């Protein structure tokens, strides 16, 4: 009988965006073991194959189950996880699964997890947790919500049979902060694709995008990521405005005229600097690869979380990378990048533009080798399959 693995916490698959969504997509896409069957819960409205709530469908050999959840504000994600976990336990009971694994992505439902852990134990199952990053540090949360996240994280770690961390720094944090619970941990990184873009400068979508933005290859710095304060858009924009570079700054992000955008605009007056361009999101993955590959440099300002997907993609594809010098980023890139602090990015931009092609080539080779050796999806999926079939 196959080991049944129930995955709770992603918005679902098929997916072409989102960290956990991409992880589940790749975990099932690259599956090699025939000893595992994945059951993936999908948020009904997010599913590309949604028809009726609760409908089952198959994708990448996995059984996918749509879950309908009412729009109840920030609590919606908590309700979704609770409903999906309860559904998974019921399915395991009905199918008489032997030693099922319930893999919960992120730590949203800590205050309720003790109740579900008892049910899982009665099934002879195990509860695995991926804590993600330091969610309680995100600027978007109010003080009460941050307190909830910290409490929830603690209770998830307390009740988890195994804590799977995608960052060694997160693993160390879990072991130290929650030493009284003696958490059992496992480090398995996030992965990325390494194939180059199938597009060239002659393709229509490439020409259309570059002409629309009025830029050319190697003439721009690139930022890709969610438009949130902890990704340090303020520091990046302020530094770029101080720099003397003639290159553009292309910000590929889900920007909206929200409070953070208005505050940033009023504070920095970035709209008066013709070099700085918010260009929205790019959902065409081949086009995004091409944009990454042909940037002069990528600037990464993420400081909350573990192994960040956009960082891995940049290290695999972009020739030169300028990373905020926090432990998470240094752990991943090692000697394959330049590092900056919030007060010296403008100086690092000048350093980057003074590098010769041989040095840039050496940095690119080091970052690409780092990805190839440690962060490819086949390697990551193999590690998961080894763990899940033990």
> Three-class SS string for 275-322?
CEEEEECCCCHHHHHHHHHCCCEEEECCCCCCCCHHHHHHHHHCCCEE
Check whether residue 186 and residue 235 sit in a common domain.
no
Measure Cα distances from 272 to 248, 253, 268 in Å: 13, 19, 9
d(CA 303, CA 177): 19
- Residues (pLDDT < 70) of the chain are 16-17, 45-54, 133-141, 256-257, 305
Same domain, 237 and 123: no
Same domain, 272 and 335: yes
Alpha carbons 374 and 285: distance in angstroms, whole number? 22
173 contact partners, CB below 8 Å, separation of at least 6: 134
Q: State the CATH number of the domain containing residue 305.
A: 3.40.50.2000
Task: Note whether 119 and 247 are same-domain residues.
Answer: no
Q: Which of 69, 74, 83, 88 is nearest to 112 (CA)?
A: 83
The tens digit of pLDDT for each residue in 260-301 reads 899 999 999 999 999 999 999 998 999 999 999 999 999 999
pLDDT computed for residue 307 by the predictor: 79
Q: Is residue 196 part of a domain?
A: no
Asked if residue 282 belongs to a domain, the reply is: yes
In a domain, 170, yes or no: yes
* Cα angle: 286, vertex 47, 41; to 5 degrees: 115
Same domain, 212 and 167: no
Residue 19 lies in a domain: yes
pTM here is 0.89
Q: Do residues 255 and 261 touch, judged by C-beta distance below 8 A?
A: yes
Q: Do 97 and 128 fall within a single domain?
A: yes
Distance, in Å, from the CA atom of 247 to the CA atom of 74, rounded to the nearest integer, reads 40
Whether residue 199 lies inside any domain: the answer is no
Phi and psi angles of residue 63, each rounded to the nearest 5 degrees, phi first: -90, 125
Classify burial at 367, counting beta carbons within 10 Å of its beta carbon; exposed 0-12, middle 13-18, buried 19 or more: buried
The residue segments making up the domain with residue 103 are: 3-191+377-388
> Please, which residues bridge with residue 185 across strands?
163
What does the angle CA 131 – CA 152 – CA 122 come to, to the nearest 5 degrees? Answer: 85
Statement to judge: residues 144 and 223 lie in one domain:
no
141, containing H or E segment: none
Report pLDDT for 137: 61
Strands 56-59 and 62-67: antiparallel
- Give per-residue pLDDT as tens, 79-131: 999 999 999 999 999 999 999 999 999 999 999 999 999 999 999 999 999 99
Picking from 219, 209, 220, 193, the residue whose alpha carbon sits closest to that of residue 299 is 220
Omega before residue 14 within 30° of 0, cis: yes
143 shares its domain with 214: no
Residue 336 resides in a domain: yes
Q: Are residues 18 and 78 in the same domain?
A: yes
243 and 347 co-located in one domain:
yes
What's the number of domains the chain is made of? 2
Q: Kind of pairing, strands 62-67 and 3-8?
A: unpaired
Instruction: Please give the Cα distance from 348 to 301 (Å, whole number).
Output: 13
**Quick one: DSSP state of residue 44?**
T
Distance of CA 259 to CAs 144, 168, 255, 263, 276, Å? Answer: 20, 34, 11, 6, 19
Helices (H), the chain: 19-29, 76-95, 110-122, 143-159, 168-177, 204-213, 233-242, 259-268, 285-293, 309-317, 327-333, 345-353, 357-374, 377-388
Tell whether 198 is covered by a domain. no
Residue 310 to residues 8, 165, 323, Cα–Cα distance (Å)? 23, 18, 12
Q: What is the pLDDT of residue 48?
A: 54
pLDDT for the residue 259? 84
In a domain, 197, yes or no: no
Same domain, 145 and 241: no
Q: Are 113 and 155 in contact (CB under 8 A)?
A: yes
Residue 388 phi/psi, 5-degree rounding, is -75, -15
Specify whether 165 is located in the same domain as 217.
no
Answer yes or no: are the C-beta atoms of 67 and 87 closer than 8 Å.
Answer: yes
């Amino acid at each position: 009988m196959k080991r049944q693995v129930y995955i709770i916490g992603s918005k679902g698959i098929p997916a072409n965006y989102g960290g956990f969504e991409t992880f589940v997509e790749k975990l099932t896409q690259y599956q090699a073991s025939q000893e595992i069957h994945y059951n993936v819960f999908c948020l009904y409205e997010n599913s590309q194959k949604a028809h009726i709530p609760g409908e089952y469908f198959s994708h990448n050999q996995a059984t996918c189950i749509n879950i309908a959840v009412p729009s109840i504000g920030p609590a919606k994600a908590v309700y979704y996880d609770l409903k999906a976990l309860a559904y998974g336990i019921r399915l395991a009971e009905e199918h008489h699964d032997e030693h099922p694994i319930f893999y919960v992505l992120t730590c949203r439902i800590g205050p309720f997890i003790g109740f579900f852990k008892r049910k899982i134990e009665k099934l002879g199952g195990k509860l695995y947790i991926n804590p993600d990053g330091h969610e309680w540090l995100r600027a978007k949360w109010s003080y009460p919500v941050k307190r909830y996240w910290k409490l929830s994280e603690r209770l998830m770690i307390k009740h988890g049979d195994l804590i799977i961390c995608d960052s060694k720094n997160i693993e160390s944090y879990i072991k130290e902060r929650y030493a009284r619970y003696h958490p059992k941990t496992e480090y398995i990184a996030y992965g990325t694709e390494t194939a180059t873009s199938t597009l060239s400068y002659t393709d229509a979508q490439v020409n259309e995008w570059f002409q629309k933005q009025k830029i050319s290859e190697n003439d721009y710095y690139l930022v890709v990521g969610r438009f949130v304060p902890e990704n340090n858009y303020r520091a990046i924009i302020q530094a770029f405005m101080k720099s003397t570079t003639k290159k553009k700054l292309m910000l590929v992000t889900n920007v909206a005229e929200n409070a953070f955008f208005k505050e940033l605009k009023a504070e920095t007056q970035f709209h008066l600097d013709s070099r700085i361009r918010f260009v929205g999101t790019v959902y065409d993955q081949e086009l995004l690869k091409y944009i990454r590959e042909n940037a002069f440099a990528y600037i990464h300002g993420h400081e909350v979380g573990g192994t960040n997907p956009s960082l891995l993609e940049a290290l695999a594809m972009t020739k030169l990378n300028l990373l905020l010098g926090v432990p998470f980023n240094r752990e991943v890139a090692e000697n394959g990048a330049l590092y900056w602090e919030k007060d010296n990015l403008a100086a690092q931009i000048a350093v980057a533009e003074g590098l010769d092609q041989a040095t840039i080539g050496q940095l690119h080779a080091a970052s690409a080798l780092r990805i190839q050796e440690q962060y490819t999806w086949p390697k990551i999926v193999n590690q998961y399959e080894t763990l899940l079939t033990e």
